[in-house]
Amino acid sequence: MATIAVIISNMFEDSEYSEPVKAFLAAGNKIVHIGIHAGETVKGIKKGTPVIIDRELKGLQIAGFDALLIPGGYSPDQLRISEDALRFTREFVESGKPVFVICHGPQLLISARVVKGRKMTSWKSVKEDLINAGADFVDQDVVEDGNIISSRSPADLQAFIKASLNKLG
């Protein structure tokens, strides 16, 4: 059983959160929602899916977490202005632990400065940002490069979830 941190803020893409989390839980994993303020309820952009933040990012260490999920939507753009979110994300990527990122999620990795030299995919509007940050952009449903698994959109969720579960073992 893995403990998966989900870094999340308001206006996340509902399905990019709900479907992977459902699959992770079904496989016996534990989910911990992390964000700016513990106890805050954040909501999805399309369906208003409510998520209560379990742990706040300030001072949070990556120890105790086995993987990181970064759903897309506007959440990554909101989180990327938080130094605590950037630090946590950077430390997670650099640790070698699995990082699952979809759609606009790479925005957080770009701002954490951890994409240079990495093969990745994303939503089409994030493509140029990834390239400008030094990533090797690949237009595929799922891309695995070391500990980072990335996908483009909700249409790729099946492949994204399968690759993520395989990475968890």
Both tokens assigned to 26: 């079904």
In angstroms, rounded to a whole number, what is the distance separating the alpha carbons of residues 156 and 135? 20
Q: By the 8 A CB rule, do 58 and 81 touch? A: no
Of 46, 31, 40, nearest to 58 (Cα)? 40
Q: By the 8 A CB rule, do 122 and 150 touch? A: yes
State the residue for tokens 């630090």.
Answer: 87
Indicate if 112 belongs to the active site: no
Residue of 67, 103, 114, 115 with catalytic role: 103
In angstroms, rounded to a whole number, what is the distance separating the alpha carbons of residues 137 and 128? 9
Q: Which residues are part of the catalytic machinery?
A: 103
